[in-house]
Amino acid sequence: MSLDIAVLGNLLVDDVVFPDGRTRLAQPGGACLYLALGAALWGLRVGVVSVAGYEYPAPALDGLAARGVNLAGVRHLDGPGVRTWLLYEGARRHIVHRLEGPTHAEVSPRPEDVPESWRSARAFHLAPMPLETQASLARAIATWPNAHLSLDPYTLVTPETASVVGPVFAGVDALFLSEDELELGHGDRRDALPGLMCGRLTRIAFKRGDRGGIFLDAGGFVDWRPRASAVVDPTGAGDAFAAGVWAGWLRGEANERALARGVVTASFAIEAWGADGLLAATPDAAEKRFREWFT
């Protein structure tokens, strides 16, 4: 099967804790889930490359398959995968891996997990994973044909880590960076983003949650604002946004239009618990919302 986009990352079980004390335990999570559902919403042929423990909720995988997502790249473990505490702290969130079970690297995909027929996909996205894992995948993907590659970092970008993450960023075409992953610059961090541009990296989307975000490429800065019909749970919104942007880019659309698709995709993610909003959404509903909000 020829893919439009292959999503590489984790399928994790999340225990979510919100600032007001509400909890949602044993939720199917991982950036791959939201990215794949978001990409499928726009009709992209999408495949997931990941590792799933035996406790990963089967209905989530069934939901992906029902929407045409190819799961041939998912390696299943005989034991548990990674389970995390996802703690929301104001505008930021804190991820704590439970002590038992495999390490983050052990449940992250390897280059050999990518099916041979997928290596000619039009695009690849590396979801948050340990830096060494992302670096290994980026090096391998760079040798494949038509390797348009984006990355969402897991390693916090600070003055101390900038020299370490920089070479990895230089090997990708686009960076989807969240506010809780960047500790460079001041204010809205607009002053820090140009310094991250290096190598083949020519596009950066800096996601700022309910304040929208800032996009940077050779043409300069473009701001985007969020929209939503309801806000229930922000989990996965940034991943859904990245999927929508890729849907626009793969259609050959200008950045402003691609960013608008990202906003629409994120709006479905946040209007219900977990991935329920994206699972309930349809391509027709997405196109209708896109036309109504951004025509």
CA distance 83 to 26: 8
Q: Bridge-partner residues for 228, per DSSP?
A: none
Strand extents, DSSP E, the chain: 5-8, 13-17, 23-28, 46-52, 70-76, 83-89, 92-97, 123-126, 148-151, 174-178, 203-207, 213-217, 220-224
How much is the pLDDT for 96? 81
3-state secondary structure 54-110: CCCCHHHHHHHHHCCCEEEEEEECCCCCCEEEEEEECCEEEEEECCCCCCCHHHCCC
How much is the pLDDT for 246? 98
- Using pLDDT thresholds of 50, 70 and 90, give the confidence band for residue 100: confident
Cβ–Cβ under 8 Å, residues 191 and 169? no
Q: Bridge-partner residues for 83, per DSSP?
A: 13
Number of Cβ within a 10 Å radius of residue 180:
18
- Using pLDDT thresholds of 50, 70 and 90, give the confidence band for residue 99: confident
The residue with tokens 């099967």 is: 1
Residues 263-273: tens digit of each pLDDT: 999 999 999 99
CA distance 107 to 115: 17
- Using pLDDT thresholds of 50, 70 and 90, give the confidence band for residue 91: low
Q: Flag whether pLDDT at 142 surpasses 70.
A: yes
Q: Which uninterrupted H or E stretch holds 166?
A: helix 162-169
CA distance 69 to 51: 15
How much is the pLDDT for 230? 87
- Using pLDDT thresholds of 50, 70 and 90, give the confidence band for residue 13: confident
pTM: 0.94
CA distance 151 to 148: 11
Q: What is the mean pLDDT of residues 252-271?
A: 97
- Using pLDDT thresholds of 50, 70 and 90, give the confidence band for residue 128: very high
Q: Bridge-partner residues for 85, per DSSP?
A: 15, 96
Q: What is the mean pLDDT of residues 48-62?
A: 94
- Using pLDDT thresholds of 50, 70 and 90, give the confidence band for residue 44: very high
CA distance 259 to 265: 10
* Domains in the chain: boundaries: 5-11+31-80+112-294
Q: 125 by DSSP, 3-state: which? A: strand
- Using pLDDT thresholds of 50, 70 and 90, give the confidence band for residue 93: confident
Q: Flag whether pLDDT at 257 surpasses 90.
A: yes
Cβ–Cβ under 8 Å, residues 101 and 80? yes
CA distance 29 to 117: 27
Better-scored residue on pLDDT, 191 or 84: 191
Number of Cβ within a 10 Å radius of residue 160:
9
- Using pLDDT thresholds of 50, 70 and 90, give the confidence band for residue 238: very high
5-11+31-80+112-294 is a CATH 2.40.170.20 domain: no
How much is the pLDDT for 212? 94
How much is the pLDDT for 1? 59
Instruction: Please state which of the ranges 15-24, 170-179, 265-274 shows the lowest mean pLDDT.
Output: 15-24
